[in-house]
Amino acid sequence: MRGAVAFLVAMPLPPAKIVRMFKAFNFAVCACAAVLLAGCAASPKKVVFVSGNSIHLWGDHEHAIMCEELVGMVNESMGGKVRAEWLDAEKTSDLSALDDADAIVISTEGEKNHPFAGKTDLLEKLNAKGVNIGAFHYTLMFDYPADNAAFDSLIGGHYQKGFSYNPFYAADFRLGSHPALNGVKPFSIYDEWHFNIAFTKNAAQKITPLIQTQVPDKIRKRRSAPKSVQAELGKGRFETIAWVVENPNGTRGFGIMGGHVPWTLSQKDYRKLVLNTIAWLAEIDIPENGYDASVPPFESLVAKIKKPKRGDYDYYIKDWRDLDAKWRKEK
């Protein structure tokens, strides 16, 4: 650059022409630099949503629909920063799409129907390469202790049979302190909120609760509740329903215990919580007001459900339709 300027100054030309040539040269240099910087700009983070089969009745555990819905929301709200893809593990055993993922979000059945049952070593190997992993709802429940231990190391905890509990109730949530809560206000929402989670005992893992609720005593004293849940009767203990974890190897994880039905994403604050948590998992900045996206109409999601209609369909669909309409009106 200095040599070029000296050459221009040394040229036997009128000063005004030298200035014009210098400006043109400087503009060309800046333009080239801009092109180079654009080429070096960070590529979008790849987030793969993995769904599995559903053994539940019509409307429950519609993992494929929820993953498809979230892919659309993520690409709409974080376009350019995140590239979301959907892998339906019910239709393919080819998991190669996970190989170059920056983050993986899983919504599947648990126990013996879990697509990663006995295969969590695959997730551990990806995590060892720096892949962040998050999971919803029944995904956190396995039959095998080794799989539970794997999820402890990946996302900070698991649903433990005979210890954790999965009732339906309207939870009133208080918020923690974390960027994933940007723009989120305290909210109340009905779902099957799993609680009394078996969290990791590894002190090197940093777990941060995102939302917590006081589960009503009328739920704790149900005969179906494990003794560990009944033991907290009358104590007013707050239960962690969603959390994030920072692991010793530098990776991130999350667990969100809602997600029994796809319609809960109609509630704005829950939707923001989910989208922000996915953004945090992908390691992108979260704006002050959080991420948000448009919500498909209730009936369009209903039309995607291909299972046989349940015996209580009319009662069931009315309840969820009414709740969906209520959530969409909340500001």
- pLDDT (tens digit, 9 = 90+) per residue, 160-186? 999 999 999 999 999 999 999 999 999
272, 77 Cβ separation under 8 angstroms: no
Query: What is the pLDDT confidence band of residue 30, given thresholds at 50, 70 and 90?
Result: very low
pLDDT at 35 over 60: no
Q: Which two tokens stand for residue 206?
A: 């940093």
Q: How far apart are CA 142 and CA 181, in angstroms?
A: 29
Residue 84 pLDDT > 70:
yes
* Alpha-carbon distance values, 221 to 64, 217, 236, 237, 239 (Å): 34, 6, 13, 14, 16
In the block, which residue shows the tokens 């429950």?
60
Q: Distance between CA 323 and CA 331 in Å, rounded?
A: 15
On the 0-12 / 13-18 / 19+ scale of CB atoms within 10 A, 316 is: middle
Domain ranges of the chain: 2-40, 45-281
Which tokens belong to 61? 């555990």
Alpha carbon 256 to its chain's center: 8
117 DSSP assignment? T
Q: What is the dotted CATH code of the domain comprising 45-281? A: 3.40.50.880
**Whole-number pLDDT of residue 331:** 82
- Looking at residue 79, its pLDDT comes to 85
Total residue count of the chain as it appears in this document: 331
DSSP structure class, residue 307: S
pLDDT at 189 over 70: yes
Quote the mean pLDDT of the chain.
91
Mean pLDDT confidence for 10-34 = 48
Tell whether the model's pLDDT for residue 15 goes beyond 80. no
